[in-house]
Amino acid sequence: MTLYSRVRPLAFKLPAETAHELGKRTLRGVQSTRPTRKATAYAYRFEHPALEVDLFETTFPNPVGVAAGFDKNAEVTHALEALGFGFVEIGTVTPYPQAGNDRPRLFRLREDEAMVNRMGFNGDGMVRVKERLERDGAPDVPLGVNVGKMNASTEREAIEDYRRVFDRLAPFADYVVVNVSCPNTPDEFDEASPAHLRAIFETLEAENDEHVPILVKIGPDDPEESVLELVDIVQAFDLDGLIATNTSTSRDGLRSESREEWGGLSGKPIAERSTAVIRAVADYTDGELPIVGVGGVDSAERAYEKIRAGASLVQLYTGFVYGGPSTAKRINRGLVELLERDGFATIEDAVGADLD
Ligand X SMILES: Cc1cc2nc3c(=O)[nH]c(=O)nc-3n(C[C@H](O)[C@H](O)[C@H](O)COP(=O)(O)O)c2cc1C
Which range of residues in 57-65, 228-236, 300-308, 317-325 is near ligand X by CB under 6 A? 317-325
Report the nearest approach of ligand X to the CB of residue 110 (Å): 14
Residue 242: DSSP 8-state: E
* Known catalytic residue at 29: no
Question: How far out from the chain centre does Cα 23 lie?
Answer: 18
Report the nearest approach of ligand X to the CB of residue 342 (Å): 24
Report the nearest approach of ligand X to the CB of residue 136 (Å): 20
347-356 burial code (b ≥16 CB/10 A, e <16): bbebbbeeee
Q: Residue 331 interacts with ligand X (CB under 6 A)?
A: no
Report the nearest approach of ligand X to the CB of residue 74 (Å): 12
Return the residues of window 205-264 that contact ligand X according to CB under 6 A.
217, 246-247
Q: Which is nearer to ligand X, 324 or 344 (CB)?
A: 324
Q: Find the binder of ligand X among 63, 65, 120, 295 (CB under 6 A).
A: 295
Q: Residue 94 interacts with ligand X (CB under 6 A)?
A: no
Q: Residue 101 interacts with ligand X (CB under 6 A)?
A: no
Which range of residues in 168-176, 232-240, 316-324, 338-346 is near ligand X by CB under 6 A? 316-324
| H or E, element range at 178 | strand 175-179
Report the nearest approach of ligand X to the CB of residue 190 (Å): 17
Q: Residue 145 interacts with ligand X (CB under 6 A)?
A: no
Q: Say if CB 123 and CB 98 are below 8 A apart.
A: yes
Catalytic hit among 80, 147, 182, 300: 182
Query: How would you class 50 by CB atoms within 10 Å of its CB: exposed for 0-12, middle for 13-18, buried for 19 or more?
Result: middle
Query: Can you tell me whether residue 67 is helix, strand or coil?
Result: coil
Question: How far out from the chain centre does Cα 202 lie?
Answer: 24
Q: Which is nearer to ligand X, 274 or 285 (CB)?
A: 274
CA distance 354 to 356: 7
52-82 burial code (b ≥16 CB/10 A, e <16): bbebbeeebbbbbbbbbbbbbbbbbbbbbbb
CA distance 311 to 281: 10
Residues annotated as catalytic (active site), given as ranges: 182
Binding residues (CB under 6 A) for ligand X: these are 67-69, 72, 91-92, 106, 115, 117, 119, 146, 179, 182, 217, 246-247, 266-267, 270, 294-297, 316-319
